[in-house]
Structure 1
Amino acid sequence: MADGILTQLNKASAAEEFFALLGVDYDPKIVNVARLHILRRMGQYLAGEDFTGIADETVAERCKTVLERAYADFVASTPIDQRVFKVLKDAVAPRPKQTPTLVQIGTLK
């Protein structure tokens, strides 16, 4: 019995393998710059999915659609614009205002 698509994807170790397994065309220049961002976005899109009891062909088609969507996000804009990872989100997060600590003169010795 052949491994299902989810098993194959779990064994994949490079972004290019995901694209090949799911039959998604891609520009290597975009993948070279945004590979981790694309896969992270794909994971975010798939996070709410439940594939229990669904035919492997349907799962593969859904995964293909999600990878195409994640890839398209980075064709249209950059990883900095998309801010998939926490470090990039934190880079633009509003910083809390620092208020000076007030010390009463009577407490100083």
Structure 2
Amino acid sequence: LHTDATGLQLDQCGNLYVSNNLNQTILKYSLSDMQKPVIIAGTGQAGGTSTQLHNPQGITFDIDFNLYVSDYGYIHHVFLWEFSGSNSQSDTPVGRIPS
């Protein structure tokens, strides 16, 4: 995997999600092809907008398969990505991380 992985989470299908803090992304590794991860969150550029991550850390899913990402960069937020099938529908800051 990545030496810069700061969070790991499995979904109910056994796919692995990795919080990649140096590349500002959340990656999904499918069981069918562990060599080709898919970027499911972040743009690869550090930023403070709702579509960009800066130093993503912990990740977790809730019971409805929504993904929560703690981002310690510019804006110290917890982001929520709601999924429909395999595609991310929206990303929303849902909380603030104390500095």
**Which of these two proteins has the greater Rg computed from alpha carbons?**
1
Scaled by the length of structure 1, the TM-score of the pair is: 0.27
Q: Which has the higher helix share?
A: 1
TM-score computed with the length of structure 2 as normaliser: 0.28
Q: Greater strand percent: which structure? A: 2
Looking at both structures, which has the greater relative contact order when contacts are Cα pairs under 8 Å and sequence separation is at least 6?
1
